[in-house]
Amino acid sequence: MATKPTASALKVFSVLDVLLRHFANGLSNTELAKATGFSESFITRAIVTLEEAGYAERIPGTERIRPSHRFAQHAVAIMRSLDDARARVDEAMARMTTKP
């Protein structure tokens, strides 16, 4: 029997999804509430959850929230992994197309 995620968890991921589309400037609680259709009180709880998990951070000197730098680190790691994979593919293609 498959386990279903809780509705609350899915809502938190929806908040994160919206935040990821506003990486540089972040959003206020009010903007997040409008973008997701969730109440501001839920947004506050969701942001606390995301901050505690290290996935969101407050922009200093503002009331705005953005995804944490953790996502940029993941993006760099993914790009490096793809570059390594591409290099292996290129190397294999070169070996297969070189005439003896």
Map out the domains of the chain as residue ranges. Answer: 1-68, 69-100
Report, at the CATH architecture level, how domain 1-68 is classified. Orthogonal Bundle (1.10)
Amino acid at 38: F
Contacts of 32 (CB under 8 A, 6+ apart): 15, 18, 19, 38, 43, 47, 65
Q: What is the pLDDT of residue 62?
A: 92
Asked whether the CA dihedral 37, 38, 41, 44 is positive or negative, the reply is negative
Q: Please report the pLDDT score of residue 2 as a whole number.
A: 65
pLDDT tens for each residue of the chain, 100 residues long: 567 778 889 999 999 999 999 988 999 999 999 999 999 999 999 999 999 999 999 999 998 999 998 888 888 999 999 999 999 998 988 888 877 6
Instruction: Return the pLDDT at 36.
Output: 96
